[in-house]
Amino acid sequence: MGRDPIRIANFSGYLGDRRTAIDEAMAGDPFDVMMGDYLAEITLASLSAAYQRDPSKGYVEYFVEQIRPHLTAIADRGIKVVTNAGGFHPARLAQVLREEIATVGADLRVAHVEGDNILADLPRLADDGYAFENLDGGAPISQWVAKPFAANAYLGGWGIATALAEGADIVVCGRVTDASLTAGPAAWWHDWAADDWDALAGAVVAGHIIECGPHAVGGNFSGFLEIGHPIMPGFPIAEIAADGSCVITKHARDGGAVTADTVKAQLFYEIQGPVYLNPDVTVRLDHVRVDQLAPDRVQVSGTTGAPPPPTTKVAIFGPVGFTVVNTVYVTSPHVAEKVALIRDQLNHDLPDGVTIDLTQIGTPADDPESQWAATVALRIMALSETADALKAADMMKRIGSLYLQSIPGFFNDVHAGLTSTPRPRVDYWPGLLPMTALDHRAVLDDGRSLAISVPPTSELITQPVHREPEEAPLADRVTRAPLGAVVHARSGDKGGNSNVGIWTADPRVWLWLRRFLTTDEIKRLVPDAKDLDVTRHEFPDLQGVHFVLHGLLGTGGSSNTRIDQVGKAIGEYIRSRQVLIPDDLLAGGFDTDLLEDDLEDVR
């Protein structure tokens, strides 16, 4: 179309995000497309459960409430809306929206994208020889212990682009990739060809940056103390040019801030290295540049692309048992011995098939100045393959019987209460399937179903290998200080892998960081990773080091027993670790509050 940059405004980053986001976007700066992302990996499984209970459900119902008041204005302003709120049943959500549109008399057309839900096709695909090899370990799904109840392939953005080209105003999707919600509209707007790899890659990067909503505007940001008006950070806007480069900004009226570092935080989030795979294009992040053009305007350039891999990921979920979780509290002294006694008492006469997992949260102060400074939380998780075994264990009564016979000072939060109600434990299998095996379609409001072709070529590109740096020479003057005094960090998850990006805005710090933060050092800083396979990558243009901690999250966030189930706080944990930092770097460090609070007594 040869147009100016397309302006795509985000209004949701996950199921449960701020429900006023569409109200805020519609009252904000002008944009061409409004995009909402609701689906994390486990979210689709929960929507699947709703669909199984009631076949008329399975989509994000509150999205209808969000958009209902704005349908007439969307039509009048010529805004396009793209969302994966269709979840497990995009066709039904499309129909519900058409009914809402008819009620208000707006001139809007609704299409939906289908082909991601392949649960019913799994037996046929298995008979055809597709093994759904595990993305992490390569094992065939036949070795999995769970029986799948949800299986959704990650689709690309061309179904969205096709629906928009056919005149749709609202496009409802299920499991397309998060970035496809942005790349699809950009491809339509700029009339890109399916092999415009660099432009497509740039749009995927733009989509990756804005897909998590306020993440790019200062939310969940290690430098939050620098963000003005952080109580309600706004939602981002991506301005994507014809070459795929973009400017990330926000609505001027909203809180938060778009800075080079808030954008870098999202670039490092949930990637597995410099090669970022998408069904439409393989994105190369090796030389992505982030430049602050003006307040709340950050340019992202340098992205290159190549043909996508021949396969796409299929998120498969299945039940692997049940859990019951309660929390009690332990007060010093002798915390370790008290936890040991509670463990022995809970395991005494425990029914067969039930196991207990205890996690101590926190460490009491040596000389506590309050009761709470002396207290740690103890999470008690009971696990079993069957709900009946957990019901027989009756954890509420088992824990409740310890008040007079257990540790001194035993208590729980009576306002939160105790429970014996089992909850399902769901395992995750990231399988691979050739894209040629999928039936990706755009379904229009006139009943036409348009087949979406696979990319014209494919190529399997593996992550580059970055050699470990030479050991950094020790500076003459160093101070033991939190690493977070001189670096930012952002961590996330992909299945069972935790990833963390650690970067700096200071070129001097970068020269030290890349040599200091080796694989051995990250294993020292994160003891849970000391026996894991850890992959290390460098991003010189972003002045950051990125690590993938393989298997830290078990097989995935839905089934592991960690309290930080999907590793969101690992980056902050690393920043809190004290290391020897050259004094000249600390003198120019950017986190002065952290330095003043935490370093006063350690110099």
Same domain, 264 and 210: yes
Task: Give the rounded percent of residues in the chain with a pLDDT score beyond 70.
Answer: 97
- DSSP of 567-582: -TTHHHHHHHSEEEEE
Among the candidates 309, 329, 360, a domain finishes at: 309
- Number of helical H runs and strand E runs in the chain: 18, 26
Average pLDDT, the chain: 94
Is 266 within 8 Å of 275 (Cβ atoms)? no
Is 266 within 8 Å of 183 (Cβ atoms)? no
pLDDT given at position 588:
66
Helix ranges (DSSP H) in 269-329: none
Question: What is the C-alpha to C-alpha distance for residues 305 and 197, in angstroms, rounded to an integer?
Answer: 5
Same domain, 386 and 497: no
**Domain coverage including residue 62:** 6-116+154-309
pLDDT given at position 597:
45
The answer to whether residue 144 sits within a structural domain is no
Note the pLDDT tens digit of each residue in 411-421: 999 999 999 99
User: Whose CA is closest to 549, among 565, 562, 530, 568?
Assistant: 530
* Residue 471: band (very low, low, confident or very high) from pLDDT cuts 50, 70, 90: confident
Q: Is the pLDDT score of 596 beyond 80?
A: no
Q: Is the pLDDT score of 45 beyond 80?
A: no
The answer to whether residue 441 sits within a structural domain is no
pLDDT given at position 508:
95
How many domains does one find in the chain? 3
Is 160 within 8 Å of 188 (Cβ atoms)? yes
Same domain, 498 and 534: yes
Judged by DSSP in three states, 218 sits in coil
pLDDT given at position 97:
98
Question: What is the C-alpha to C-alpha distance for residues 414 and 326, in angstroms, rounded to an integer?
Answer: 11
Report the Cα–Cα distance between both ends of the chain, in Å, rounded. 61
Determine which of 292-296, 425-429, 534-538 has the lowest per-residue pLDDT on average.
425-429
Q: Which two tokens stand for residue 503?
A: 């970067």
Q: Mind spelling out the 3-state secondary structure of 383-440?
A: EECCHHHHHHHCHHHHHHCCCCCCCCCCEECCCCCCCCCCEEEEEEEEEEEEHHHCCC
Same domain, 526 and 384: no
Q: Mind spelling out the 3-state secondary structure of 484-547?
A: HHCCEEEEEEECCEEEEEEECCCHHHHHHHHHHCCHHHHHHHCHHHCCCCEEEEEEHHHCEEEE
pTM of the model: 0.94
Q: Is the pLDDT score of 590 beyond 70?
A: no
Note the pLDDT tens digit of each residue in 304-352: 999 999 999 999 999 999 999 999 999 999 999 999 999 999 999 999 9
The answer to whether residue 41 sits within a structural domain is yes
Main-chain dihedrals φ then ψ at residue 546, nearest 5 degrees: -125, 135
Main-chain dihedrals φ then ψ at residue 402, nearest 5 degrees: -90, -5
Question: What is the C-alpha to C-alpha distance for residues 72 and 75, in angstroms, rounded to an integer?
Answer: 5
Among the candidates 427, 460, 494, a domain finishes at: 427
Q: What is the mean pLDDT of residues 133-147?
A: 95
Q: Is the pLDDT score of 598 beyond 60?
A: no
Residue tagged 């981002």 (tokens): 236
User: Whose CA is closest to 392, among 355, 346, 422, 351?
Assistant: 351
User: Whose CA is closest to 237, among 219, 256, 223, 258?
Assistant: 258
**Side-by-side strand order, sheet with 282-284:** 275-277, 282-284, 304-306
The answer to whether residue 292 sits within a structural domain is yes
The answer to whether residue 553 sits within a structural domain is yes
Q: Is the pLDDT score of 172 beyond 70?
A: yes
Same domain, 241 and 289: yes
Is 30 within 8 Å of 79 (Cβ atoms)? no
Main-chain dihedrals φ then ψ at residue 40, nearest 5 degrees: -85, 175
User: Whose CA is closest to 417, among 431, 400, 441, 435?
Assistant: 400
Same domain, 189 and 322: no
pLDDT given at position 560:
84
CATH number, residue 331: 3.30.70
Number of neighbouring beta carbons within 10 Å of residue 525: 21
Amino acid letter, residue 88: F
Q: Is the pLDDT score of 244 beyond 90?
A: yes
Indicate the helix (H) or strand (E) that contains 35: strand 33-36
Strands (E), 199-277: 236-240, 246-250, 275-277
**Alpha carbon distances (Å) from 505 to 260, 365, 491, 492, 502:** 9, 34, 18, 21, 11
Same domain, 327 and 237: no
Q: Which two tokens stand for residue 84?
A: 């994966």
- Greater confidence, 590 or 280? 280
Question: What is the C-alpha to C-alpha distance for residues 591 and 483, in angstroms, rounded to an integer?
Answer: 10
Q: What is the mean pLDDT of residues 280-295?
A: 97
pLDDT given at position 521:
97
pLDDT given at position 309:
97
Same domain, 191 and 48: yes
Q: Is the pLDDT score of 125 beyond 60?
A: yes
Among the candidates 309, 326, 354, a domain finishes at: 309
Indicate the helix (H) or strand (E) that contains 441: strand 441-443
Same domain, 301 and 343: no
The answer to whether residue 566 sits within a structural domain is yes
Note the pLDDT tens digit of each residue in 10-40: 999 999 999 999 999 999 999 999 999 999 8
The answer to whether residue 466 sits within a structural domain is no
Q: What is the mean pLDDT of residues 207-224?
A: 97
Q: Is the pLDDT score of 592 beyond 60?
A: no
Same domain, 299 and 322: no
C-alpha atoms less than 13 angstroms from C-alpha of 372 in its C-beta half-sphere? 1
Residues 6+ apart with CB under 8 A from 137: none
* Residue 436: band (very low, low, confident or very high) from pLDDT cuts 50, 70, 90: very high
Question: What is the C-alpha to C-alpha distance for residues 592 and 603, in angstroms, rounded to an integer?
Answer: 15
Same domain, 189 and 301: yes
Q: Is the pLDDT score of 454 beyond 60?
A: yes
Question: What is the C-alpha to C-alpha distance for residues 568 and 216, in angstroms, rounded to an integer?
Answer: 16
Question: What is the C-alpha to C-alpha distance for residues 352 and 392, in angstroms, rounded to an integer?
Answer: 10
Question: What is the C-alpha to C-alpha distance for residues 193 and 458, in angstroms, rounded to an integer?
Answer: 15
User: Whose CA is closest to 485, among 521, 508, 509, 516?
Assistant: 509
Same domain, 414 and 528: no
Question: What is the C-alpha to C-alpha distance for residues 456 and 536, in angstroms, rounded to an integer?
Answer: 32
Is 297 within 8 Å of 239 (Cβ atoms)? no
Strands 282-284 and 304-306: antiparallel
The answer to whether residue 372 sits within a structural domain is yes
Q: Is the pLDDT score of 150 beyond 90?
A: yes
- DSSP of 64-87: HHHHGGGHHHHHHHT-EEEE-TTT
Indicate the helix (H) or strand (E) that contains 101: helix 90-104
* Residue 603: band (very low, low, confident or very high) from pLDDT cuts 50, 70, 90: very low
pLDDT given at position 2:
56
Q: What is the mean pLDDT of residues 367-379?
A: 97
Q: What is the mean pLDDT of residues 273-289?
A: 97
Judged by DSSP in three states, 176 sits in strand
